[in-house]
Amino acid sequence: MNNLRPVGIIGTGKYVPEKILSNRDLEKMVDTSDEWIVSMTGIRERHIAAPNEATSDLAYHAAVNALKSAGMKAEDLELIIVATITPDMFFPSTACLLQDRLGAKKAAAFDLSAACSGFVYGLATATNFVKTGMYNNALVIGVDCLSRITDYTDRNTCVLFGDGAGAAIVGEVPEGRGFQAFDLGAEGAGGAHLYIEAGGSRLPASAETINTNKHYIYMNGREVFKFAVRVMGSATEAVLSKAGIDKKDIDLFVPHQANIRIIKSAMERLELPEEKVVINVDKYANTSAASVPLALVEAQESGRLKEGDKVLMVGFGGGLTWGSSVLIW
């Protein structure tokens, strides 16, 4: 990667809906408790999109903030990648809907589906487009409205998910900065552990699929947890090796925010103190593709992210997929 122009993040933005659904609220909906949810997941609340808000709306607000951060206009954008598993519709893509709303008339646009790894997959894709000179910049957005595919009668899954969007503009950066390495992977054999069964070409929507709740997230929590703990460590070690960076040199670790126990397991494996780790799962729950960028932007806004910092980002999720990257800020 280093024989081409250096590419990194030149602007960021985020957006979460106003409505908050707390654990106490969920106690009134299903047989659960705040104490149990916090102890098992670390989650205290999550943001929920309003009835008139769709994935493209969340993406739009995050994109506007990212453009402002980068000092760019929408018409300057050359590529838009939206990582999501909850598009507004099958087609046109959410990226095309966003391109139109932003007025980014010069930008190519497409969606990318890698679930909770989607933002890192998107960054890797955009980085290679910009490194090779095909485009000079790209807007990458991780966004999901998981509340729209969550069964709020299923206590095992409804406590886990929330809505949000995080955006990054990828472009050329000074020599010695930017993305140093990526590690992307998939374990398709584990796809049956986390999926939505109906709504596609194999099982189109019907009265039966609706009545049997086949349009909601199904998750084998035990198997996904085991996968996450394993791959969080292996994906991290792989990308650090590619980047030639020792784990002790990591300045900031930005993991996918699915479960506090998974994050702490990774912290132990990497021997990282809490002050080097971004944790916001308590506020947002699992927002899928939005998880990593929301955490990254919050770290920047709070002053935890400084120029020259070595940043490690790791995502994992449905597919099953994983993605990790090392970035010098």
Write out the two tokens for 152: 């709020």
DSSP code of residue 90? S
For the question of residue 116 being annotated catalytic, the response is yes
For the question of residue 286 being annotated catalytic, the response is yes
312 with 239: CB under 8 angstroms? Answer: yes
Of 47, 61, 193, 256, the catalytic one is 256
Virtual CA dihedral for 123, 125, 131, 137, nearest 10 degrees? -60
Q: How many other CB atoms are found less than 10 A from the CB of residue 113?
A: 15
Of 96, 116, 145, 158, the catalytic one is 116
190 with 247: CB under 8 angstroms? Answer: no
Task: With H, G, I as helix, E, B as strand and everything else as coil, classify residue 278.
Answer: coil
Of 65, 137, 259, 286, the catalytic one is 286
Q: Is 104 left (phi over 0), alpha (psi -120 to 50) or beta?
A: beta
Angle among Cα 130, 135, 141 to the nearest 5 degrees reads 70
For the question of residue 158 being annotated catalytic, the response is no
Query: Measured in whole angstroms, how far is the alpha carbon of residue 319 from the centre of its chain?
Result: 14
Cα dihedral 205, 207, 208, 214 sign: positive
Cα dihedral 78, 71, 313, 62 sign: negative
Which residues are the active-site residues?
116, 256, 286
